Structure 1
Amino acid sequence: MSSSDIFIGETIGTAVLTLLGCGVVAGVLLKRSKAFDAGWLAITFGWGFAVLTGAYISAPLSGAHLNPAVTLGLAISGGTEWGDVPIYFLGQILGAMIGAVLVWLAYVGHFQAHLTDRELVGGPGAQDTKKADAAQAGDAGPVLGIFSTGPEIRNTAQNLVTEIIATTVLVLAILTQGLNGEGKGLGVIGVLITALVVVGIGLSLGGPTGYAINPVRDLGPRIVHALLPLPNKGGSDWGYAWIPVVGPLLGGAIAGGIYEIAFA
């Protein structure tokens, strides 16, 4: 694989993954959406299909890592050249940001309606002041969950461990499936299995933190949330933002180590 193939494949694949993944969350959370209040099952299966689609599109070019934790695990286990790792990372973060912008464009009217709904955000005055204070403090705003993850119970150690465990399961599942005949990534069945693993992780381990299991899937859209001109959007919760980055990277590294010890 050339550097340009890796970069283009990861950019496109991660953009599609983020567009469809964050898109299903937008559909479920935004009050005027037809999918409003469809629930956690819709979100978990939506993210699984997002992984499936992004991976199928990008696999011929880059092997469809779409996740720095996967790239790190593959590098540790010998499946990816260390020199290619920065190229994968750059394509992944750019793709995640592009995907988040596309979600905003697809739902722009719904964001406007949701964030100016008096029943949701209240009227002018005290409520505006409260939201301004929240934004200044960096607290999670009312639509941040569309773009990035956040814990139901804010406990740094537990939140970090949850992300490490969930990502270890994901990356180990990928590594133990092996590569296709060309050595470029998972085969057709492997991509499907990985998508189902993502659904399973969401159902089993997604409750505490929203299962980022992918640093750029969380960080890229969080940056976009901070930059978008959304009314009453609140803060981007930067105090929590390191956990869905560090946790998955540690999980990917642990999975790579386990693979080398137990399976290689």
Structure 2
Amino acid sequence: MSSSDIFFGEVLGTAVLTLLGCGVVAGVVLKKSKAFEAGWVAITLGWGVAVLAGGYVSGQLSGGHLNPAVTLAIAVDSGDWDHVPVQMAGELIGAMIGALLVWVAYYGHFQEHLAGREEFGGAQTPGAKAFKGKGQVAERRAPAADEPGPVLGVFSTAPEIRNVVQNLATEIIATTVLVLLVLGIGLNDALAVSGTGTLMVALVVVGIGLSLGGPTGYAINPVRDLGPRIVHQLLPLPNKGGSDWSYSWIPVVGPLVGGVLGAGIHHALF
């Protein structure tokens, strides 16, 4: 594979991954979507299909890593670092393109969801509280510029309980599981060549979401979180609030540490 093939393969695959993954979250979160309030199972299944689609469209060009944690793990395990910068650059750019396409596809829904004062606050906007006095209509204030807004979850992850140690540990554990499977499949040429390995990875991503996604939203992929978070920061969304940069390092560092840990375990055992 040439460097250009690897770069464009990772751009394409990660764009598809992010488009379908963030897209299912948009469908569940944004009002007037036909999938509104479909729930966590729909989101985890959607992300599994997103991994499957991204892996299949990019596999022949780049190997379909789609994830710097996977790229790093393979490099640590194999000792081959030649294409790591190209792969990671393609993954980040692809994630940003995919997030941008979600905004395009759901443009009207974003505007509708964010236009009225009643949409702000509640569980989706930490710190924003509704008030209702006697004879008053309940109102919610728009999020402050530095606090997470009501649609940030479409683009990036956030913990249900903010505890740095727990949040980081969750991302490390979940990514270690993912990497052990990816590297294990790499030992089986039949699975890798037939494409069954990509299907198995997608199913494990669904399993990780169902089993370990509750605390943090299971980024398990640095660019899946960072790329869309950058797009959220740049998009002209009304009353969007902040992009929660104080948390943003956890879904980047956690998966990278999990990638190295998974590669170390795999290399030691196999």
State the TM bucket, normalised to the shorter chain: over 0.9
Match of 1:161 in 2: 169
State how far apart, in whole Å, the 1-side matches of 2:242 and 2:159 are: 15
Normalised to the residue count of structure 2, the TM-score between the two structures is 0.90
For residues 47-89 of structure 1, give each alpha carbon's deviation from its aligned partner in whole angstroms, at most 9, with x where no partner exists: 00000000000000000000000001100110x7202100000
Structure 1's 40 and 182: CA in aligned 2 closer, same or farther, altered over 3 A? Answer: closer
State how far apart, in whole Å, the 1-side matches of 2:224 and 2:24 are: 14
- Opposite residue 83 of structure 1, the aligned amino acid is D
Any gaps of 5 or more consecutive residues in structure 1? none
Please state if 1:175 is matched with 2:183: yes
Contact residue 149 and residue 241 of structure 2 kept, 8 A: yes
Which SS does the other structure have where 2:215 is aligned? coil
State how far apart, in whole Å, the 1-side matches of 2:252 and 2:157 are: 11
Please state if 1:45 is matched with 2:37: no
Which SS does the other structure have where 1:46 is aligned? helix
Contact residue 3 and residue 86 of structure 2 kept, 8 A: yes
Q: Give the Å deviation of 1:140.
A: 1.2
Question: How many residue pairs were aligned?
Answer: 254
Q: Give the Å deviation of 1:121.
A: 3.0
Identity %: 69
Contact residue 32 and residue 110 of structure 1 kept, 8 A: yes
Please state if 1:105 is matched with 2:113: no
Any gaps of 5 or more consecutive residues in structure 2? 122-129, 131-138
State how far apart, in whole Å, the 2-side matches of 1:87 and 1:157 are: 31
Please state if 1:216 is matched with 2:215: no
Contact residue 118 and residue 140 of structure 2 kept, 8 A: no
Please state if 1:86 is matched with 2:85: yes
State how far apart, in whole Å, the 1-side matches of 2:189 and 2:39 are: 39
Q: Structure 1 residue runs of 4+, over 3 Å off? A: 179-183
State how far apart, in whole Å, the 2-side matches of 1:171 and 1:145 are: 25
Which SS does the other structure have where 1:233 is aligned? coil
Which SS does the other structure have where 2:239 is aligned? coil
Please state if 1:193 is matched with 2:200: yes
Q: Give the Å deviation of 1:117.
A: 2.7
For residues 184-221 of structure 1, give each alpha carbon's deviation from its aligned partner in whole angstroms, at most 9, with x where no partner exists: x6641000000000000000000000000000000000
Which SS does the other structure have where 1:37 is aligned? coil
Q: Give the Å deviation of 1:127.
A: 5.1
- Opposite residue 221 of structure 2, the aligned amino acid is N
Normalised to the residue count of structure 1, the TM-score between the two structures is 0.92
Match of 2:136 in 1: none
Which SS does the other structure have where 1:82 is aligned? coil
Which SS does the other structure have where 1:252 is aligned? helix
State how far apart, in whole Å, the 1-side matches of 2:44 and 2:213 are: 8
For residues 135-173 of structure 1, give each alpha carbon's deviation from its aligned partner in whole angstroms, at most 9, with x where no partner exists: 1xx321100000000000000000000000000000111
For residues 199-247 of structure 1, give each alpha carbon's deviation from its aligned partner in whole angstroms, at most 9, with x where no partner exists: 0000000000000000000000000000000001000000000000000
Please state if 1:227 is matched with 2:205: no
> RMSD of the alignment, in Å?
1.9
Which SS does the other structure have where 1:92 is aligned? helix
- Opposite residue 88 of structure 2, the aligned amino acid is F
